[in-house]
Amino acid sequence: MGLTLEAIAKIAGVSRSTVSRVLNGGKGVKESTRLKVQGVIDSVNFQPNVAARGLAAGNTGIIGLVIPAGVSALFSDPYFPQLIQGISSVANAHDQSVMLWLAEPDYEERTIRKILYSGLLDGVIVSSMVIDDPTVQSLHESDIPFILIGRHPELEVNFVDVNNLSGGRAITSFLYRCGCRRIATITGPQNMVAGLDRFNGYCDALTVHGLPFSEDLVADGGFTEAGGYAAMKELLPMEPDGVFAASDIMAVGALRALGEAQLDVPADIALVGFDDAPVAARIKPSLTTMRQSTSRLGSKTLEILLDIIANPGHLPRQVIIEPELVIRKSCYAEEFRVEGG
Amino acid sequence: MGLTLEAIAKIAGVSRSTVSRVLNGGKGVKESTRLKVQGVIDSVNFQPNVAARGLAAGNTGIIGLVIPAGVSALFSDPYFPQLIQGISSVANAHDQSVMLWLAEPDYEERTIRKILYSGLLDGVIVSSMVIDDPTVQSLHESDIPFILIGRHPELEVNFVDVNNLSGGRAITSFLYRCGCRRIATITGPQNMVAGLDRFNGYCDALTVHGLPFSEDLVADGGFTEAGGYAAMKELLPMEPDGVFAASDIMAVGALRALGEAQLDVPADIALVGFDDAPVAARIKPSLTTMRQSTSRLGSKTLEILLDIIANPGHLPRQVIIEPELVIRKSCYAEEFRVEGG
DNA sequence: CTCCTTATTGGGAGCGCTCTCAGTATTAGG
DNA sequence: CCTAATACTGAGAGCGCTCCCAATAAGGAG
C-alpha cells in the first residue's frame, strides 16, 4: 500500500538514503542503525515500490519469458510447464520475477517492441525453436540481455540446448542394436531446430550402421499426439521394424495407431521416443526414450541469463546438455538393463 | 532503447505533455498535431518506459498470476497451460502483461508481500483451490484487486469457477442412468474446493437415486495419474460397476489399473472422468467426462478482473460456469448420443 | 471588430527510489 | 589534546512519465 521509503526514514529517525542503503545490502551503515532501520522495515512490512526502483536504478528484477507464436500450439505439452517450473524456481531463489509472454500471431509485433523498449525487463528468455523467428532477430539487434532455449541455426547468440543431434543418433543406434534394420522416424516440425536436429541424428545413425535412407520411412508428426498417430498410419504400409518418434507425445500417438493395427510393441515393432515425458513411464508398454530434464534446462537457462546480466560483454554462452538413454519395454534387448517395472 | 517522451516532443516540435496525450488516447489534441506526433512515434518506434509510467500514473498494466505452492505439484497437468493460454490471450488483447508466480513453500511469505506491496501489479489472479490458502487471506485484507479461479469456501471474494458440485452430481447420475448401481469415486484432494465439490456432487447424486453411500467406495487419487491408479487398485476388491474419477488424469490411471485387472471398460465396469482434458478423447476407450473449457475459464477470469480494476467497489463478482456432459465410450447407453468415433 | 468561451498546449510538480557528493561524527595517530 | 583519516549520514538531483493548471490560440456571439 502506501508506505514509502521516506515514511520509514521518518519512523526510524534517519534519512531516506540510509533506509535505501539498508534495503540494498546495508554496506556502509553502522550496525546499530542498520538494526534499527531493519526493525522498522520488518515491523511495518515495508516493500519498496518496484516501479520507482526500476526507474531510479535502471533494473527491475524482472525477466521476460517469451513463448513465440509458432510453438504456442504445443503449449499444453508437459514440456512448457516443466520449463516454467525450472525457471520459476531459480527466479524465486534469486528474487527475480518472471513475466510470461505467450506471443500470438496478431500481437507478435507489439510484443517484440514492448519487450525491447519498455525498459521493464532486465533480460529475456526465448523458448525459440522455430527457425527464422523474428523475435530472435530483433533481440539480437538490440542490446537487451537474452538467451535462447534451443540453439539458433545461424546467429551467434547465448543459448542452452539439449544435444538433439547426438540424442537422435544415440536412440536410433539403439534401435539398430536391438535388431531393427528397417527403421522409420516420425519427425518433429522441420522448421524447429529440435525437430531438425533429431532427424539429422537419425540420418547420421543410419549412415553409421550402413542402413539405407528412404524418404518413405520418414513422416512428419508435428510434435503432437494426433500428428504421431497420423504419421504412424502413414508409415505402416512400409513395414518398418523399428520407429523413432522424435518426441514421446508423438510416440504415444504412434502407439495408438500400432495398437489399432494389432501390432505388438516391441515384439512386432520397436518404438522409441524422445524427452522422457511423464507419460513415457506410464504407458503400456513403457517407452524407451532419451531423457532430458526440462526443468533443469529451464533453471540452467535462467542461471546463465542472470550471469549474463551481471557480467555482460562475454562471448556467447552456449551450453549443450547431453540427453540420456532410458531403456524401457517398448524397445530393449536382453543385454541392456531396463528401467522400471 | 534510450528514447524518452521528451526526445519525441523535441523532434515533433511540441511539448512533453502533448506527446503524452497522444500516447494515452489523444483526447484534447488537435487532429493535425496528433498525426504529426504519432508519425514521429511510429517512425522511431518509441515505446514509453513502463516503470516511469507506473510510477507516475499508479498503474502498470501488469497482472499477477499466482499458482500457490499447494498445487504446483499438479502444474504439469494440461490444466495450467490451458489456463495460462486463456489468460494470456485476453491479456494480449487488452495490452496487459502477465507476471507468473509459481509460489514455492520456501518463498511463499515473501511472495505474498511482494505481490501486495511492491506496487507493480494492477491486479492479481490466484489459481487458488487449496482451502485455507494464506495468500487469499492476505489478498483479501489488502486493497489490491484480485480474483480467484475456483470459489472460496468462506470468504466473500471475486471468483470464477466451474460448477463442480452440479458437475459431479450430473456425471454420477449419468452412471446411474447407464445402469450402474454400485458406484465408486476416486476423489481429488479434499483440501481443494474442486475436489470437495465434485465429491459432494457424487454424494448428492447417490442420495437422489436412493443409493447407499459407503466409505469403501471412496478413494483419494490426489488429482494425479499415479494416484488414480492406486485408488482404483484399492477400489477393485469392492467390485464397483461404475467409477467416477474426479479428473480425467486420474481416470487414465484408473483405466490402467482396470486394464491390468483384465476388466473391460465399459462392459465390465463403467468409468467417467471430469475436465475433458485432451487425453479424454484420445484414450481407449474414449472417456465420458464433464467438459470445462479451461482456457475459457482463464479468459473469463481476466476479463472480470479487468472490469474490477476499471470499476471498483462493486459487490463480489462471482461467476459460475456450468460444465457439460460429454458422452463417449467409457460409459454410455444406447439412448444417449455418443461423441466422436 | 471586440469580448467571452472553448479547444489546445506548455510548464511545473511530483510519483518513490537510487546515486553522488558533501558534511559530520568517530577513531587513530602523533 | 590536536590533526588526519575513516566511517556514517543526509541532502539534492534526477530516472521518464502523468496530471493539474495556467497560458495561449481559435472560434462565436454580439
Instruction: Please list every residue in chain B whose beta carbon sits closer than 8 Å to the beta carbon of residue A84.
Output: 75, 100, 102
Q: What is the mean pLDDT of residues A9-26?
A: 89
- Residue where the block lists cell 504421431: A228
| A225 CA to centre of own chain | 19
Q: Quote the CATH superfamily of domain A62-162+295-322.
A: Response regulator (3.40.50.2300)
pLDDT tens for B128-154 read 777 877 788 888 888 899 999 999 988
- Which residues have CB under 8 Å from B32's CB, separation 6+? none
Residue B86: per-residue pLDDT: 93
| CATH 1.10.260.40 intervals, chain B | 5-48
Residue B76: per-residue pLDDT: 67
Q: Which positions of chain C lie under 7 Å from any protein Cβ?
A: 7-12, 14-20
SS3 A80: helix
* Residue A30 pLDDT > 70: yes
d(CA B285, CA A229): 16
Q: At how many degrees (to 10) do helices B50-57 and A50-57 cross?
A: 130
Bridge partner list, B324: B291
pLDDT tens for B172-185 read 999 999 999 999 99
Residue A341: per-residue pLDDT: 46
d(CA A252, CA A229): 8
d(CA B93, CA B156): 29
Q: Which of A108-117, A203-212, B209-218, B277-286 has the lowest mean pLDDT?
A: A108-117
C-alpha cell at B183: 458406484
Q: Do A284 and B256 touch (CB under 8 A)?
A: yes
B144 close to B170: Cβ distance less than 8 angstroms = no
A50 touches strand C (CB under 7 A): no
| B9 CA to centre of own chain | 44
- From the list B206, B187, B335, the residue with the least C-alpha distance to B273 is B187
Residue B154: per-residue pLDDT: 87
Band (pLDDT 50/70/90 cuts) for residue A232 is very high
> With a CB-CB cutoff of 8 Å, which residues 250-309 of chain A face chain B?
253, 256, 259, 278, 282, 284
Residue A243: per-residue pLDDT: 98
B172 touches strand C (CB under 7 A): no
Largest CA distance in chain A: 83
- Which residues have CB under 8 Å from B22's CB, separation 6+? B29, B33, B34, B37, B38, B41
Burial of B6 (0-12, 13-18, 19+ CB in 10 A): exposed
Q: Please give the nucleotide, over all strands, whose C1' is closest to the CA of residue B37.
A: C9
pLDDT tens for A94-136 read 989 999 988 877 777 777 777 777 888 999 999 877 788 788 8
- The per-residue DSSP string of B144-190 comes to S-EEEES--SSS---EEEE-HHHHHHHHHHHHHHTT-SSEEEEE--T
Bridge partner list, A173: none
Burial of A155 (0-12, 13-18, 19+ CB in 10 A): middle
d(CA B239, CA B232): 10
Q: How far is B75 from chain A (nearest CA, A)?
A: 6
Residue B341: per-residue pLDDT: 46
Q: Which positions of chain D lie under 7 Å from any protein Cβ?
A: 7-12, 14-20
Which one has a higher pLDDT value, A92 or B208?
A: B208
B56 touches strand D (CB under 7 A): yes
SS3 A324: strand
Instruction: Please list every residue in chain B whose beta carbon sits closer than 8 Å to the beta carbon of residue A85.
Output: 72, 75-76, 102
pLDDT tens for B6-34 read 898 989 889 999 999 998 887 788 888 88
B5 touches strand D (CB under 7 A): yes
| CATH of the domain spanning A164-292 | 3.40.50.2300
* Residue A307 pLDDT > 90: yes
Residue B72: per-residue pLDDT: 64
C-alpha cell at A224: 503432437
Q: Do A97 and B98 touch (CB under 8 A)?
A: no
d(CA B61, CA A114): 12
Q: Do A282 and B60 touch (CB under 8 A)?
A: no
* Strand C proximal residues, B:19-58, Cβ < 7 Å: 21, 28-34, 52, 55-56
pLDDT tens for B101-132 read 888 776 666 677 777 778 899 999 998 777 87
Nearest 10 degrees: Cα torsion B245, B247, B249, B251: 20
Q: Which of A164-168, A175-179, B94-98 has the lowest mean pLDDT?
A: B94-98
B2 touches strand D (CB under 7 A): yes
Q: Which residues of A92-102 are buried (b: 16+ CB within 10 A; e: fewer)?
A: beeebbbbbbb
Q: How far is A117 from chain B (nearest CA, A)?
A: 5
Identify residue B33 by its one-letter amino acid code.
T
What mean pLDDT value characterizes chain A?
A: 90
A65 close to A100: Cβ distance less than 8 angstroms = yes
Nearest CB to A117; choose among B1, B65, B99: B1
B16 touches strand C (CB under 7 A): yes
Q: Quote the CATH superfamily of domain A5-48.
A: lambda repressor-like DNA-binding domains (1.10.260.40)
d(CA A234, CA A216): 9
- Which residues have CB under 8 Å from A183's CB, separation 6+? A172, A175, A176, A202, A206, A211, A217, A240, A241, A242, A243, A244
B100 close to A87: Cβ distance less than 8 angstroms = no
Q: Do B118 and A48 touch (CB under 8 A)?
A: yes
* Residue A75 pLDDT > 90: no
Instruction: Please list every residue in chain B whose beta carbon sits closer than 8 Å to the beta carbon of residue A278.
Output: 76, 225
- The per-residue DSSP string of A128-180 comes to --BTT-HHHHHHHHS-S-EEEES--SSS---EEEE-HHHHHHHHHHHHHHTT-
d(CA B135, CA B116): 10
Distances (CA, A) of B66 to A61, B124, B162, B293: 17, 7, 19, 20
The Å distance, CA of A15 to C1' of C23, is 14
Alpha helices in chain A (DSSP H): 5-12, 16-23, 31-44, 50-57, 79-93, 108-117, 134-141, 164-177, 193-208, 225-235, 248-260, 278-282, 294-310
Q: Do B84 and A98 touch (CB under 8 A)?
A: no
Q: What is the mean pLDDT of residues A241-255?
A: 96
B14 close to B7: Cβ distance less than 8 angstroms = no
> With a CB-CB cutoff of 8 Å, which residues 104-163 of chain B face chain A?
104, 106-107, 111, 113-114, 116-120, 142-143
Q: Do A102 and B88 touch (CB under 8 A)?
A: yes
- Residue where the block lists cell 509460489: B103
Task: Among B83, B102, B114, B256, pick the best mutation site for testing chain A contact (most A Cβ within 10 A).
Answer: B102
Q: What is the mean pLDDT of residues B231-246?
A: 97
Closest residue, chain A, to B87 (C-alpha):
A102
Q: How far is A151 from chain B (nearest CA, A)?
A: 24
Other CB atoms within 10 Å distance of the CB of residue A305: 24
B14 touches strand C (CB under 7 A): yes
- Which residues have CB under 8 Å from A310's CB, separation 6+? none
Identify residue A13 by its one-letter amino acid code.
G
Q: What is the mean pLDDT of residues A233-249?
A: 97
SS3 B207: helix
Q: How far is B49 from chain A (nearest CA, A)?
A: 5
Q: Do B47 and A80 touch (CB under 8 A)?
A: no
* B78 in A contact zone (CB under 8 Å): yes
| CATH 3.40.50.2300 intervals, chain B | 62-162+295-322, 164-292
* Residue A70 pLDDT > 70: no
Instruction: Please list every residue in chain A whose beta carbon sits closer than 8 Å to the beta carbon of residue B142.
Output: 1
Closest residue, chain B, to A224 (C-alpha):
B278
Q: What is the mean pLDDT of residues A202-223?
A: 97
d(CA B181, CA B170): 15
Q: Which of A53-62, A65-74, A262-271 has the lowest mean pLDDT?
A: A65-74
What mean pLDDT value characterizes chain B?
A: 90
Residue nearest to nucleotide C13 (CA to C1'): B56
Residue B70: per-residue pLDDT: 65
